[in-house]
Amino acid sequence: MKKQSIGIGLMGLGVVSGQVAKVLTEKADVLAEQAGCPLVLRKIKVLPSDLDREQARQMPSELFTTDDDEFFDESEIDIVVEAIGGENPAREYLKRAISSGKHVVTSNKEVIAKHGAELQALAQQYEVGLRYEASVGGGIPLITPFKYDLIANEISGIYAIINGTTNYILTRMAREGIDFPSALKSAQELGYAEADPENDIEGIDAHYKLAILASLAFQSQVKPEDIYREGISRIASRDFRYAQELGFAIKLLAIAKQVDNSIEVRVHPVFIPEDSLLAKVDGVYNAILVEGDLIGKVLFYGQGAGPLPTSSAVVADIVSSAQDISFGVGNRIKWKLESGKKIKPMAEIETRYYLRMNCADRPGVLAQISRILGDLKISIASAIQKEADIVAQSAEVVLMTHPSQEKAMQQALGKIAQLEAVKEISNFIRVESI
């Protein structure tokens, strides 16, 4: 029952699917060897408007269809590759492909983060594979390591730089002392940030990816809405100056921790020690640090986006699917998502905090602030006070706390904001010791 060839159906005609088609063609020989038989691109499902695009004109026109039924009824397609992105219609397309008995490969983080559990259940029911290596970290191997290599580990933590755009912006701010709007503008000009940058800078992209990684790591369904999320737009160049003075770097981290049977999941800017490996991850690069009971710390680093790295992951998934098809393997892993672990409310997390305030430059201000913190059992690890504006008689006060509970910190912030001598709480950023 060895197949003569395995047919691929592509959905979407963006840069990723264009690159996937290119790799399938150009590397046909080596891929056929690995897959066990030739991989043949049978159909590309596109929108009518796609047909005029340069990418479409470079490929044989008979490959294209704009008709859903024609695509899904094509019996020669064994593997459907979804590269449309977004929640809908990707979700329905993936369900339809799975229900038609086709193995599926997707690079779509949003649909996996939101509907991964549903799609996985359907894939088990129809005994086909569901693969999504490209959905997190571009070409960096992550999903496969979680499903295979790290399987014997109890994962205690994930600390990830998984959005290249924000890491690029923060790197520029750290190196050049420029402010957020300038760094964003520069990132947009270079094509690293979109015209509407919200998805990246508000941590939306990162929180989808974290939902996927945390679900895999903890074998428990972590939904995007379970994740506390904060973006980077509040970070000022002054924060970088203080961070450097205190020995820290500022990164947007996606964090997932497991303590006992409860899970902590959050995406927000953090201070991390400047000598930690994650602090050295600059520019558009991604890095994912995983802690497990057996492996200790392991880190994966690479380009988290772009058509070439993404195609690397998509094609690897296609080859794995093809191997399964050759061997008559349906859905390889019975992935459990019902371990019943609880999501810890944000109010209950405990970290250290960096706090920057603009205060009246007069005696007793620091004492008032310290009293509020002390009453809430938050102890101060270090303090910096600098003259900010001679004319306005204002001073900048920067505090680093010892580990404290978020709830207490939020209460303290509310009370500090009401102090007459405090003109503004300029920023507050959590600190992770990794």
Question: Considering beta carbons, is residue 311 or 401 the nearer one to its own copies?
Answer: 311
Sign of CA dihedral 16, 22, 26, 31: positive
Question: Considering beta carbons, is residue 195 or 294 the nearer one to its own copies?
Answer: 294
Question: Considering beta carbons, is residue 28 or 380 the nearer one to its own copies?
Answer: 28
Q: How far apart, in whole angstroms, are the C-alpha atoms of residue 222 and residue 263?
A: 9
The residue whose two tokens read 């690029």 is 168
The DSSP secondary structure of 213-241, one letter per residue, reads: HHHHHHTB---GGGSEE--STT--HHHHH
22 given a catalytic annotation = no
Q: How far apart, in whole angstroms, are the C-alpha atoms of residue 38 and residue 17?
A: 19
Question: Considering beta carbons, is residue 133 or 230 the nearer one to its own copies?
Answer: 133
Residues in the chain: 434
Q: How far is the CB of 287 from its own copies (least distance, A)?
A: 8
Q: How far is the CB of 316 from its own copies (least distance, A)?
A: 5
The residue among 271, 253, 410, 274 whose CA lies nearest residue 354 is 271
Q: Given the rule CB under 8 A, which residues bind its own copies?
A: 23, 27, 31, 33-34, 36, 133, 138-141, 144-145, 148-153, 277, 280, 292-303, 308-309, 311-313, 315-316, 319-320, 323, 327-329, 332-334, 336
Question: Considering beta carbons, is residue 145 or 197 the nearer one to its own copies?
Answer: 145
Question: Considering beta carbons, is residue 151 or 190 the nearer one to its own copies?
Answer: 151
Q: How far is the CB of 257 from its own copies (least distance, A)?
A: 19
Plot region of 11 (φ>0 → left; ψ -120 to 50 → alpha; else → beta): beta
Q: How far is the CB of 380 from its own copies (least distance, A)?
A: 31
Q: Which residues pair with 327 in a beta bridge?
A: none
Q: How far is the CB of 223 from its own copies (least distance, A)?
A: 22
The overall longest dimension of the chain from CA atoms, in Å, is 85
Q: How far is the CB of 20 from its own copies (least distance, A)?
A: 9
Q: How far apart, in whole angstroms, are the C-alpha atoms of residue 208 and residue 225?
A: 9
Q: Which residues pair with 339 in a beta bridge?
A: none
Q: How far apart, in whole angstroms, are the C-alpha atoms of residue 68 and residue 96?
A: 10
Question: Considering beta carbons, is residue 222 or 315 the nearer one to its own copies?
Answer: 315
The amino acid present at 401, given as its one-letter code, is T
The residue whose two tokens read 């201070």 is 271
Q: How far is the CB of 326 from its own copies (least distance, A)?
A: 9
Residue 1 contacts by C-beta under 8 Å, 6 or more apart in sequence? 328
- Which one of 209, 251, 257, 344 is the catalytic residue? 209
Which token pair is 85?
């992105």
Contact of 283 with 296, CB cutoff 8 Å: no
- 3-class SS at 50? helix
Which residues are annotated as catalytic? 209
